[in-house]
Chains A and B, each alone.
Chain A
């Protein structure tokens, strides 16, 4: 099981770019990297998923180096509403077999005015 390691907390100010790095040294060949966001009193929400290099959507970018032992979630120009817990997950992204997922403790991002 490929567990992940993330910083417990991060602080930023409105308008800044935030990069949250996740370590997953035991990632398997078939594993994808997925990030979720969770606001208080809500369930986690899918943000982005990738396998290698860079993935970008309307919310964030995900950078994955060649060895895939880490990944970085990049949030451009954060606002107060981006204050949330961010989880990095590693597991099978497709196919008929689904591995057990481990959410970990996540990173509490706090954005200040």
Chain B
């Protein structure tokens, strides 16, 4: 099993640009999570999906952030427009229905907004 796949691994962009992060969960997992990690705020849950449906997006910072899961094998997190304070490592994780708290994390995308 390839595990959770995220792309890109690193992204450097200028303020105001659109950024799209991608995630492929583990096959067969029905829950998908997007997290953001910074030194200041630690690891924060942004949004999670269950069976491709967004269940809780209360962690999404503001309207500049949006996430989609068009099918069971793909999800995107989009930031438009990006700001320097969005600089962080963004993790995607997935889990199965039977053990939803046993989440498998991807390698993360390190985003730098200048």
Chain B 72-114 interface residues, beta-carbon cutoff 8 Å to A: 91, 93, 97-108
The closest CB in chain B to the CB of A48 belongs to B102
**Which of A43, A91, A105 is B42 in contact with, Cβ under 8 Å?**
A105
**Which of A43, A87, A89, A104 is B106 in contact with, Cβ under 8 Å?**
A43
Task: With both chains docked as a complex, state the minimum distance between the C-beta of A68 and any C-beta of chain B, in angstroms.
Answer: 15
Interface 0/1 of B41-60, CB less than 8 Å to A: 01111001010000110110
The closest CB in chain A to the CB of B42 belongs to A105
Q: Are A98 and B100 in contact (CB under 8 A)?
A: yes
The number of chain A residues with a CB under 8 A from chain B is 25
Residues of the A chain whose Cβ atoms lie less than 8 Å from the Cβ of B31: 98
Most buried by A among B4, B35, B43, B93: B43
Q: Are B97 and A49 in contact (CB under 8 A)?
A: no
Residues of the A chain whose Cβ atoms lie less than 8 Å from the Cβ of B105: 42-45
The closest CB in chain B to the CB of A91 belongs to B101
Main secondary structure of the interface of A (DSSP, over half): loop
**Which of B59, B93, B97, B99 is A96 in contact with, Cβ under 8 Å?**
B97
Range for the number of chain B residues in contact with chain A: 20 to 34
Most buried by B among A87, A96, A101, A105: A101
Task: With both chains docked as a complex, state the minimum distance between the C-beta of B101 and any C-beta of chain A, in angstroms.
Answer: 4
Q: Are A43 and B91 in contact (CB under 8 A)?
A: yes
Interface 0/1 of B17-56, CB less than 8 Å to A: 0000000000000010101000000111100101000011
**Which of A43, A94, A106 is B99 in contact with, Cβ under 8 Å?**
A94
Instruction: Say whether, besides A43-B105, A43-B106, A46-B103, A98 and B55 are in contact (CB < 8 Å).
Output: yes
User: Can you name 13 A-B pairs with beta carbons within 8 Å?
Assistant: A34-B101, A42-B105, A42-B108, A43-B4, A44-B43, A49-B102, A89-B101, A91-B100, A94-B98, A94-B99, A101-B45, A103-B35, A105-B42
